[in-house]
Structures are given as structure tokens and as C-alpha cells.
Amino acid sequence: MAQTAVNIGGLKLKNPIMTASGTFGYGTEFSDLMDISSLGGIVVKGTTLHHREGNPYPRMAETASGMLNAVGLQNKGVDYFAEHIYPTLEAYNTEFIVNVSGSRIEDYAETARKVAQLDRIHAIELNISCPNVKEGGMAFGVCPPSAAEVVAAVRASYPKTLIVKLSPNVSDICAIARAVEAAGADAVSLINTLLGMAIDVRSRKPILSTITGGLSGPAIKPVALRMVWQVAQAVSVPVIGMGGISCIEDVVAFLLAGATAIQVGYYNFVDPTVSGRLVQELNNYLESEGISDVNELIGGLIC
């Protein structure tokens, strides 16, 4: 059987198939449907320093080629996660990665510090696309200086593998990637959702309570592939790719573009067992192509 293990900084995954934050809960909710221990990693839902209710309903909308969401990081806070969720993860043989979000740099750093105390958690994914309250609502991840500032602060409080999730809603994603790498990121993941909106033409009102939301699904895959390919050439740290992945061909395409691992997001809502199926399909693909190690695919695009 082909080797499927990959390394994300100091984090070793048994295979490159992961699930994306906000689309797979804490993973345990899916244990009756599939063997979640077969996955390389599970990125749990966004976790903040304090309890957050999220945005008012409606906050999800279906589109012809994906979906819009404006959930707003609803969660019970990092202390609740540590006390009530974390103990339930011990039974599973996969890597759990906490997606850390916040509104202030200090909140990011403190949340990361608390997660660092959890021995079973070996990595965090830093979501730098949230509102920066201190700077009038600007997202941290839209310009290199602010992206680097929050990453540096978290790096100072978090000694384990630090993955930084990048926003596609920028003019130069490579500049952002280089900035967070220089500030201490061990890896980058991309892309987060694209900004979009939907309108009810009968009421003449936006469908989402927040008017705009994040677009995910097959519509964003070409954009995601392009950005992964660009960023993989711009940085020396591992890249984790995501955006509309639903089949083994998608997985391989992202690996060839330069991703070391991938995350399945939107399609978890379409088929809750898709990530487990992709683990088996990756093994089948490697065997059929005579590939002895999945790492041979990474960055193997022929131009």
C-alpha cells in the first residue's frame, strides 16, 4: 500500500484528507456515519475567547453553485471547549486542530494560549478574516502588516504548529502569505470563503440578515486552485488547500497545485461521509497510478 502520511510543520497527518472548520462540527457528531479516525485531521468549528451567539437568522442561503453563510462564529468559548468538548476527543485516532478566531489581537493570543495547554491538540488554525474591532471593522487578514501583527502575537503565546487561514478577498494573497510566514506561521490554509450575497426578488430584500456572507462550494474551486498554486510558489511553509473539493480528482488537483493537504468543507453538507470516502479513493488512486508515496504528487503540476 502506498504511503499517505504528510507533514504540516511539526504536525504529522496519516493522510492529507482533512475537514474544514465550520462544516464538520467537532467531528464527533459524524462518528455514527463514518470512521472519523480514518481522516488525516479534523479542524473543529471556530473557537473564540468568550461565548458568541453568532449572527441573527437567516444566516445561510443556497446558491446554484454552492452556499452562502454568515453564521458569525457561534460557539461557547474556549473554556467550554476545554472542559466539555476536548475530553470527548480522546477516543479518536486522528489530529484535532482548533480554529482560533477573535475580534482583538489580545483575544487571539489568549485563546491560543489556552489551547496550547491541551496536550491532545497539536495545532491551531488561525482565522484572520474576522472583524478587527479596534480598527473599525477591518479584517486582520486583508493587508500584510495587520496579518503579520496578529500572527506574531499568537506565535509568542503558542508553541505548537501554527496554521494561518487566509482570506481570498484581497488584491495580493501571496503578499499576505509571505507576511504571515515571516511572522512565524508554520503553514497556511486557503481559501476561506469569497464574499457574496443573495437577494429575494419578491421581497426585494437580502436573504441573509447580514446582507453579505461567505460563498463556498464548487463555484470557488477554480479561484482556490489558482490561489493555492500561487501561494505554494511564494512561501516555503506547507500549504493546505480547500474550496469546492468533492471527489478524488479535486484532491489530486490541489496536491498537484502545491497543497500538502486539503480540507473538505461545503460537501460535508451534501454528503456527510464524503471525507471518509476520499481517504479510500486516494488509496485507490495511488495504487492505480503506481504511486508509492502521496508526497510525489505535491507540487507536481506540469506547466
Binding site feature residues for substrate: 45, 69-73, 127, 192-193
Distance of alpha carbon 221 from alpha carbon 302, whole angstroms: 19
Residue 130 known to be catalytic: yes
Question: How many angstroms separate the most distant Cα atoms in the chain?
Answer: 57
Task: Supply the Cα-derived Rg of the chain in whole angstroms.
Answer: 18
Helix intervals (H) in the chain: 78-80, 105-116, 144-157, 173-182, 221-234, 248-257, 267-270, 274-288
Which residue of the set 130, 174, 247, 303 is catalytic?
130
Annotated binding-site residues for FMN read: 21, 45-46, 99, 127, 165, 191, 217, 243-244
Q: Which residues does the annotation place in the binding site?
A: 21, 45-46, 69-73, 99, 127, 165, 191-193, 217, 243-244
Query: C-alpha dihedral over 78, 192, 41, 262, to 10 degrees?
Result: -170
Report yes or no: 257 and 241 within 8 Å, Cβ to Cβ.
yes
Q: Note whether 188 and 235 are within 8 A (CB).
A: yes
Distance CA 249, CA 221 (A): 12
**Alpha carbon of residue 85 to chain centroid:** 19
What is the three-class DSSP state of 174?
Answer: helix
The catalytic residue positions are 130
